[in-house]
Structure 1
Amino acid sequence: MLTTSSWWLKNMAETFLWLGLPARDLFEQANIPFRTLENASNRYPQDNVTQLWKLAEQASKDVSIGLKAGNNLSISTIPVVGFALLECQNAEAAMELLIRYQKAIGDTSSVKLLASSSSQAQLLFELNADGRPLSRHSYEAAMAFSIKLARTISGHEWAPLQVQLMSAQPDEQTAQLHRTIFHCDVLYNQSNYSLMFTREINTRQTRAYLHQAQNSDHRPLTRLIQLMLEESLPSGEVKREFFAKRLHISEKTLQRKLQGEGSCFTDLVDEVRKARSAALLTASHLSITEIAFLCGFSELSAFHHAFKRWFQQTPGQYRQQNANRAD
């Protein structure tokens, strides 16, 4: 059975209340106990969510309620990856991370990022139905949320090149709302729901890191990789190939130059992860799961294994020990 997380539904409830709708009554009519939304681990059948969208549209007489809900979602509160998303280098990187952990939000979505060319990419929304057709509001909410995420990362002027919707051509008032939210041409009666956008290559940050490394360390490449790792860990990007490509050198050249400075790429990844995990466990109230992802681990078990290798104790034991010392 396909499900949606309580986080997504809680944000829907906040939108309904903002629009003046009787959110509690709507949720109960859709067989979703309103009081249970506070439990972050709860998940709800997609059929019930589809029914909830139908009830909300009927109550509001607003055919764009999905767009408004998606645009109203809070990014920083996304389970597991909220803070990591806000640290991404550009919109495309944030979308890649969101896709990687999309099941934390729900298993009804299958969002894909396709490279149309070296300069353009397409975000394709293929939501899974379970028993009955999905409401178009589910698609539109996901698309509006993706736009909000991109603008949070890359600036309020970010806009896709084109938006495609499978829904029919709406009235002019609704079409104007679509243009206002998406800031681009919107095509209707299409074969899919998708966003086409220009790919961003952020070389400014790399040049800044290079300048900082060259002026602050006798091992400039080692320091540069450390700085780049600190920035890229939340995205889970820790492969040598990625960093070599950003520096416009081959992997072999990168490894050879690091060896010349007495360093090793794998060891640098380990060192940066170790330092970040210790700092976050000591100085933040983030959950251990969130810290694992901020350190570049996609699996909590892998983080626990690495942490015990570093400190000979679990993350929870380390946090408790340092909390006691602080007291």
Structure 2
Amino acid sequence: MTIKSGKSRVKNLFVNSSTAKVLCEYLIQKGINNELLISTLACELHELELADFRLNISAYHALWSLALSFTSDERLGLKLAQNPHNEEMGLVAHIFFNSPTLYEGLQQYQRYYSLVNEGMHIEIHNDDKFTHLEYVCDYNEVYCSADIEHTLALSVLRVQDHINRKLDLEAVHFQHPAPGDISEFKKIFRCPLRFNQSHSTLIFKKCYLNYKLPRRSPYLYKLLIKHIESLSRKILPAISFTDSVKTTLESQLSKDKVDAENIAKKMNMSRHTLYRRLKSEGISFHDLLDEVREEKAYAYLNKGKHSLSDIAFLLGFSELSAFSRAFKRWTGISPAKYLKSRPQE
């Protein structure tokens, strides 16, 4: 039996170079050798200045590891978010702050986040009172604690600086374990903090979504949207129809009845069109659903945070026995036996 740890197709994933640029500038100020930075990044430092330069995500994480080791500062991500150099915003941030409202800004942030980090995506969920802005890690290997701490802190500080300091958070969740000292987190986020969560999340009052952004420039906004669409077509790989269906399936597994009719409706097409386009890419709807469930099953089991009944529900199975039969078909053993055979961390 093969023990899976989740998705592992990360060698061709890239991130925007803006944070790497700021991090390099900080390390140079601290006296690091430029050649060490160049060898870690596998590129020249001046390339980080280019608007369309994309840094391999493995090199990006290697840079964070080097920075944490060189500075001996475990909270470097939080410190860097407060660095004056971070006033230099990237294209996605400019679009966010030039949107009409906070809601529309977040919609654009979600839409174009793949330009910032191809290994993660944004999900926005609302309940009766609160909005949850989730940073969802698509690949186990690309989660970087320092980077996510920097990302969430920078997002909060920029909103407070450029929109309104009174837009307080209700809570912040982090996917990684809690550090021994969370005093730096408290200074920045000023709200309840939870660690070891399923996703890293910013939670705030739903009514904030209607907030009109004060520095909006409609003309600049249109220019930025036009430019980012052109940039997206240039530097992002084409997403297959199968990938699009897979993303929709992943988001709907535990919410609705997961059948072709329902998924086709979510994607604004007929079931016949869904079947036909999947067939043209060499896969059936049934096989794709099975693939998604199998991948998610390994991820949930390896995290060890859910009961088997909960996992069955999250995968869209009507009952635990149905999940157990499917898992045995995938692996030859039951989910319970899989947990016992899994290497202990």
Q: Given the two structures, how large is their TM-score scaled by the length of structure 1?
A: 0.57
Describe how 1:32-111 pairs up with structure 2 within 5 A: 32-33=42-43, 34-72=45-83, 74=86, 77-79=89-91, 81-111=92-122
Q: Does 1:148 align with 2:157?
A: yes
AA partner of residue 38 (structure 1): E
Say if 1:6 and 1:42, in contact at 8 Å, map to a contact too: yes
Partner-residue secondary structure (3-state), 1:110: strand
Partners in 2 of 1:127 and 1:203 — Cα distance? Answer: 28
CA contact (8 A) 2:173 2:200 kept: yes
Q: Which amino acid in structure 2 is aligned with residue 99 of structure 1?
A: Q
Deviation at 1:179, TM superposition (A): 0.5
Aligned with residue 143 of structure 2, among 111, 119, 134? 134
Structure 1 201/187 Cα, relative in aligned 2: closer, same or farther at 3 Å? closer
Aligned to 2:223: 292
Q: Secondary structure at the match of 1:111?
A: strand
For 2:170, give the aligned amino acid: L
What's the CA shift string for 1:50-85, capped at 9, x where partnerless? 111111111111111122233446365312x44433
Residue 163 (str. 1) matches residue 172 (str. 2) = yes
2:186 corresponds to which residue? 179
1:196 aligned residue: 203
The aligned amino acid for 1:140 is E
Letter in 2 for 1:74: N
What secondary structure does 1:54 align onto? helix
Determine if contact 2:16/2:55 at 8 Å carries over to the other structure. Answer: yes
Structure 2 equivalent of residue 124 of structure 1: 134
Instruction: Report the number of matched residues.
Output: 217
**Structure 1 residue 165 displacement after superposition:** 1.4
Residue segments in structure 2 that go unaligned for 5+ positions in a row = 1-11, 232-345
Structure 1 position 27, deviation (Å): 2.4
Q: 1:92: how far off?
A: 4.1
TM-score normalised by structure 2 residue count: 0.54
Task: Give the whole-Å Cα distance in 2 for the aligned partners of 1:157 and 1:95.
Answer: 18
Equivalent position SS for 1:30 = helix
Aligned partner of 2:22 among 11, 19, 38: 11
Q: Is the 8 A contact 2:169 2:189 kept in 1?
A: yes
Unaligned runs of 5+ in 1: 207-229, 234-275, 281-289, 302-327
| Residues 23 and 2 of structure 1, relative CA distance in 2, 3 Å threshold | farther
Asked if structure 2 preserves the Cα contact closer than 8 Å seen for 1:120 and 1:199, the reply is: yes
What amino acid maps onto 1:78 in structure 2?
G
Q: In the aligned structure 1, how far is the partner of 2:68 from the partner of 2:185?
A: 17
For 1:145 and 1:83, the matched residues in 2 are separated by 14
Aligned-partner Cα distance in 1 for 2:124–2:27: 30
C-alpha spacing 1:114/1:23, structure 2 compared with 1 (3 Å): farther
Which of these residues, 22, 34, 38, is aligned with residue 28 of structure 1?
38
Alignment of 1:199-214 (within 5 A): 199-200=206-207
Shift of 1:112: 1.4
Residue deviations 1:120-175, cap 9 Å, x none? 10011113338x45321122122112212321343223321001112222223xx0
- The answer to whether the Cα contact below 8 Å between 2:57 and 2:142 also exists between their aligned partners in 1 is no
Which residue in 1 is equivalent to 2:299?
none
Higher RCO, Cα 8 Å, sep 6+: 2
Q: 1:11 to 1:200 in 2, by over 3 A?
A: farther
